[in-house]
Each structure stands twice: as C-alpha cells, then as structure tokens.
Amino acid sequence: MKKTKAIILISGNGTNLSNIIENIKSGFIKMDIFMVISNNSKAKGLNIAENHNIASMIIDTNESFDYVLSDIVDKNNIDLLILAGFMKILPKIITDKYDGKIINIHPSLLPKHKGLDTHKKVIKAKDKFHGASVHYVTSELDGGPIIIQGKYKVDQYDEEIIKKNIHMIEYQILPIAIKWFVENNIVKLGNKFSFNGEILECPIEHILKN
Ligand code: GRF
C-alpha cells in the first residue's frame, strides 16, 4: 500500500508537529511528512522540521498562496494537509479542491467557540467543559465535520493552565485522527463522515489518557 504523504501547516511553536513526528517514529502513524509549511518566518516549528530533516517552506499567505500551495500538492501527489496550529484561513479554492483531504486541530469543543481566543472565550463564559476538536476543513471557518474531540472539566479559569490542558488533549486526538485517515478508517461525505463504512452523526469522543 502506498504510504500517505502529508504536508503540515504551522504558524507558531509547532508542538503538535513535534508530537506528530514522535508518533510517526514510534510507528503509531505510518506516514511521510513531505514538507512543513509556515506562513510565519519566525515560527519555532520550522526549527523542529529542520532538526528532523524535514523540508520546510515559508509561504506568504497574502500573495498567490493558493497557487503555490496547490502546485506543491499536485506535483508531489500529497494525500493529506494537516493544519497544526496554522493561524490563517485557507482560501475557498483550496478547501474545495482538496475537500476531504484537509484536517485541522482546533482548541475548543466545536461547534462552540469557533475562531480565535478560544481559551479567553471559555474563561469569559465560565464554561464547565473545554476541549479540542479535529475536523475536516471546509470553506466554513471551523465548520467542517468534526472527527474526534477530547474534553475535560475546567477547574481553573487560568489561561496558561487551560492552554497546557488543551495541548495535552491535542497531543492525544490529532495523532488518532491522522492514523484513521492514513488507514482509511474515515472518509468525508459532504457535511458528515464515515468511520469504517458507517456514517456518523456526531464526533467520536475520545476518553483521555492521563
Ligand atoms: C494549538 O492549540 C492549536 O489548536 C491552535 O494553535 C495551537 C498551536 O500549538 N490552533 P503548537 O504550535 O502546535 O504548539
């Protein structure tokens, strides 16, 4: 079977990228990272790519972003685009063209708190639960079918603590979603997705491991 070729898009620290690399090394995910793309030349995640000998590229999202990205994807037969802390909205031309092949990690229990500053929103609303979601990317911001979610009961309304807790959840659910994609367990079908051939009406809830 052909090994899945992925591009990972980042904007910042890249701790999710690092976690994906560890999951590939351990054999949990059988995938090649073809390239790491950042819209931010100062993203620390670029050093992580370099340290692991993964090709990287900085793309200016203001100019011909869609053309450059789709050229790389098409010429290199890329199977999967993973947004792992990528803070730019992908143009509709890209989300439509690669429908079903783009996934994103979002730091909230979608459909709650789409967009930015999700931890602040949770603090403001005094939400009892918070979590993270992996979803397919469509032209609707943070609106594509949700594949998997992990949640926890918020006990401290402190942004730094919340951020740490959410990262711990992300490090569990993103590799699982990638593994399901790579092993063809999940397939996007319009605004739903199937798991092993069965259409699911709601996201899969991940039980957190300590
Ligand atoms: C993650 O919390 C992700 O959900 C959000 O940005 C953060 C990126 O963290 N969109 P990192 O760059 O992977 O450390």
Domain residue extents for the chain:
4-205
Is 80 exceeded by the pLDDT of residue 210? no
| Backbone phi, psi, residue 48, to 5° | -65, -45
Instruction: Establish whether 106 is a catalytic residue.
Output: yes
* Residue 119: partners with Cβ closer than 8 Å, 6 or more residues away: 107, 130, 159, 162, 163, 166
H-helix or E-strand spanning residue 207: none
DSSP string, 50-107: HHTT--EEE--TTSSHHHHHHHHHHHTT--EEEESS--SPPPHHHHHHTTTSEEEEES
Other CB atoms within 10 Å distance of the CB of residue 128:
10
pLDDT bucket at 95, cuts 50 / 70 / 90: very high
pLDDT bucket at 183, cuts 50 / 70 / 90: very high
Whose Cα sits closest to atom 7 in ligand 1? Answer: 85
Predicted pLDDT at 64: 87
Name the strands in the sheet holding 4-10, side by side, starting at the edge strand that comes first in the sequence. 56-58, 31-38, 4-10, 80-83, 102-106, 129-136, 146-153, 204-206
Predicted pLDDT at 28: 98
Predicted pLDDT at 60: 84
Among the listed residues 111, 84, 68, the one whose alpha carbon sits nearest the alpha carbon of residue 29: 84
Q: Please, what is the average pLDDT of the chain? A: 96
Whose Cα sits closest to atom 6 in ligand 1? Answer: 85
User: What is the whole-number distance in angstroms between the Cα of residue 106 and the centre of ligand 1?
Assistant: 8
Predicted pLDDT at 56: 98
Whose Cα sits closest to atom 5 in ligand 1? Answer: 85
Fold of 4-205: Rossmann fold (3.40.50)
Can you name the residues that pair with 176 across neighbouring β-strands? none
Looking from the CA of residue 163, the nearest atom of ligand 1 is: 2
Is 80 exceeded by the pLDDT of residue 168? yes
Looking from the CA of residue 12, the nearest atom of ligand 1 is: 12
The C-alpha atoms of residue 86 and residue 38 are separated, in whole angstroms, by 8
Predicted pLDDT at 62: 81
Please check whether residue 192 is in contact with residue 200, taking contact to mean a CB–CB distance below 8 angstroms.
Answer: yes
Predicted pLDDT at 104: 98
**pLDDT, tens digit, for every residue of 2-50?**
899 999 999 999 999 999 999 999 999 999 999 999 999 999 999 999 9
72: left (phi over 0), alpha (psi -120 to 50) or beta: alpha
Predicted pLDDT at 135: 98
Percentage with pLDDT > 90 across the chain: 94
Q: Which residues line ligand 1 (CB under 6 A)?
A: 10, 12-16, 45, 84-85, 105-107, 166-167, 170
Alpha-carbon dihedral sign for residues 106, 108, 110, 114: negative
pLDDT average, residue stretch 156-171: 98
Predicted pLDDT at 200: 92
**Catalytic residue chosen out of the listed positions 52, 106, 113, 206:** 106
Q: Could you write out the three-class secondary structure of 127-189?
A: CCEEEEEEEECCCCCCCCCEEEEEEEECCCCCHHHHHHHHHHHHHHHHHHHHHHHHCCCEEEE
3-state secondary structure of 20: helix
Predicted pLDDT at 75: 98
pLDDT bucket at 114, cuts 50 / 70 / 90: very high
Percentage with pLDDT > 70 across the chain: 100
